[in-house]
A and B are shown apart, each in its own frame.
Chain A
């Protein structure tokens, strides 16, 4: 058995990585829906999911069960293959980009050095853009295959919007590529070492703004979600999709949000790097995951014991104790080095996702012609100007 492990160690490590990342992504996508509903509700002065389990935490599971058991009608006259294929395509593409994201530095697990990312390549930035380019098909084919005027219009509008903002999104990253001379996401993160002032959102501020706005438009989120707004086009491209297929489109949208958040944090906010510099005086920051886990766990236990339903009074303290235990485990030296990178990355992704949801709760929808004008006439020239400016600065600072 140990011989098998020794010779096939690489494959085993890869399989474990894929499983961990994939299951993690599915869980994050499911609970992102809970998070969004809670935050938007509190912005709108109401409670959000409260009844299905304590704090509504079982809501995603209930939604999943609903999607499994709901009737799945197929409208007459649809193109059956494309109708069944489009949501699969959208979901598969949205789940794939996480494979090239650098989730942590090179760490030692049980004595073996391993890079914390599922895979890595020299052109991982381009891989992400390639997958984003292909995700236009999920939307447009879904809209067309429904044999429904509103779906077709919504799908075409959505696809045209995604194409237009894809240009601005790609150009706004060229500044970073000029500064780091590489397409590899891991090298881009490593170039932002030694403290938060080295992160690229400072020198590439316009690139960051441009990228974030384009990415929000690319993922069809408010304020750019005209193509799927209820007041405009019923459901847009996913009108005719019922239970499980709608769930797939839904999950694809959230997975795309998570991908964009990862991209923003990797490209502009240092990825898995800590905002504090690497000097020994800041070694206390290594205990931040521990502190977060323990404090969160204690708060959960405290609130859980006084929760208003008996079920909550049983579940929440248990969850709190588990969280505190995980936090305490982060203080062990073996775990502490491993958990630093993913912890900071998770924190940044969480902040950006909160921003996404905050925008959804606050901003009104932009009209379609305003949207296209904004993308072509403002964002694209801004990103091109960013490229020009960055290349000038790089040229002038280059040592002859």
Chain B
């Protein structure tokens, strides 16, 4: 039981707890906070899997900007607790067990699977240098397209959220 495995299980428990809390909580702000916990735990797991830059980007962008947007909207819209509405009984009594069984089967198959052909020699360097070399040479076109995508999204959000003055 190396330190890495223990750390992984602690972070995985945190992520699972956060995800379960997201579903269980009625107030959206509590769900948002649980999602932030999930994201930070996932960033820790990325670090354990050797993806340092990605862990930092996950916290800076996902947990530190996107979730702030969610929290802002919840505060601005004054979203309150969810009302209890009637869900179809069939959905709950059939759906939940089916979902659990499906996840269990998937998880078991993945756990039993042999990892495929691995390139020899230990680690991939998830360092910024190697990742950015890949990003700016082979994948520079999708990179530039995502810049345009973000620009379009900014314009779209500004136009969509305007009040009619």
Contact = CB atoms under 8 A, between A and B. Distances in A.
Asked if A and B touch directly (CB within 8 angstroms), the answer is yes
A126 interface: yes
Nearest to B40: A134
Contact of A140 (B36, B72, B128, B129): B72
Nearest to B63: A134
A156 B72 contact: yes
B56 A137 contact: no
B12 interface: no
B71 A126 contact: no
B38 interface: no
B60 interface: yes
A144 B127 contact: no
B65 interface: yes
B149 interface: no
Interface stretch (B25-33, B102-110, B156-164): B25-33
A83 B71 CA distance: 15
A130 interface: yes
Interface string A346-378: 000000000000000000000000000000000
Interface in A128-157: 129-130, 133-134, 136-137, 140-141, 144, 152, 155-156
A141 B70 CA distance: 12
B27 A79 contact: yes
A122 B75 CA distance: 37
A159 interface: yes
**What's the interface size class on B, roughly?**
20 to 34
Given A82-B29, A134-B63, A137-B36, A126 B53 contact: yes
A183 interface: yes
Contacts of A133: 59-60, 63-65
A81 B72 CA distance: 18
A79 B78 CA distance: 13
Contacts of B65: 133, 163
A52 interface: no
Contacts of B72: 140, 156, 159
Contacts of A137: 36, 68, 71
A144 B75 contact: yes
A194 B52 CA distance: 31
Contact of B68 (A122, A129, A136, A183): A136
Chain A contact surface mostly: helix
Interface in A105-144: 121-123, 126-127, 129-130, 133-134, 136-137, 140-141, 144
Interface in B17-58: 27, 29-30, 33, 36, 40, 52-53, 55-57
A81 B68 contact: no
Contacts of B75: 140, 144, 152, 155-156
Contact of B127 (A122, A129, A152): A122
Contacts of B129: 181
A136 B65 CA distance: 9
Interface string B65-80: 1001001100110000
Nearest to A162: B68
Interface in A156-188: 156, 159, 163, 170, 181, 183
Query: For A123, A140, A156, A170, which residue has the most chain B Cβ atoms within 10 angstroms?
Result: A123
A183 B52 CA distance: 11
A126 B60 contact: yes
Given A137-B71, A140-B72, A141-B71, A123 B56 contact: yes
A129 B71 contact: no
A130 B59 contact: yes
A212 to B, nearest CB: 21
B29 A79 contact: yes
B30 A81 contact: yes
10 contacts: A82-B30, A85-B33, A122-B52, A130-B60, A130-B64, A133-B64, A136-B64, A137-B71, A152-B75, A181-B129
10 tightest CB-CB pairs across the interface, nearest first?
A133-B64, A126-B56, A130-B59, A144-B75, A133-B60, A123-B52, A130-B60, A123-B56, A136-B68, A130-B56
Given A82-B29, A152-B75, A163-B68, 4 more contacts: A130-B56, A130-B60, A137-B36, A144-B75
